[in-house]
Amino acid sequence: MPHNNSNALSSRPEVLTRPKLEGGRRFVMQTPFKPAGDQPTAIAELTNGVLAGEHDQVLLGATGTGKTFTMAKVIEETQRPAIILAPNKTLAAQLYAEFKGFFPDNAVEYFVSYYDYYQPEAYVARSDTYIEKESQINEQIDRMRHSATRALLERDDVIIVASVSCIYGIGSVET
């Protein structure tokens, strides 16, 4: 049954009305490496685009060309929170480790699907068989998701590394 309380949309939880903790810390990369090759140009162009309010920018490069480093420099230059979307959990874990290393003093958080195993429900018409949904939730990943959500509410210096699949169904009454 749908929720029809109109006050629910206008009322704000107490956590949203209190100020964020000190606004967070400045993004300062911890790395001995300096931008090289095409990176300085890419960093400058992407940074200028972000500051100009451009919403559609693409950083394209082959494996191992320093795209993660380049994006970390853009975050440092713009001093803005970021969400890094990876196509799968494996790449998200790699990116999380790299960003955590680049920004150890900031809130780098991990937000991926908390299922270790998920088999959706199915119906096989040929045999008139219904297969129930099966799933197993990873409690550690669930805690990390809560930490990411908390960081967004409490801090300004947040980088969320997420998998694309984790955002499916967020906010849905069904999930």
Report pTM.
Answer: 0.74
Other residues' Cβ atoms within 10 Å of the Cβ of residue 102:
23
Mention the CATH class of domain 6-27+79-167: alpha beta
Question: Quick one: pLDDT at residue 23?
Answer: 64
4 has pLDDT over 70: no
Question: Quick one: pLDDT at residue 165?
Answer: 80
User: How big is the CA angle at 44 (ends 40 and 46), to the nearest 5 degrees?
Assistant: 115
11 has pLDDT over 60: no
Spatial distance between the Cα atoms of 127 and 125, rounded to a whole number of angstroms: 5
Q: Which residues pair with 85 in a beta bridge?
A: 162
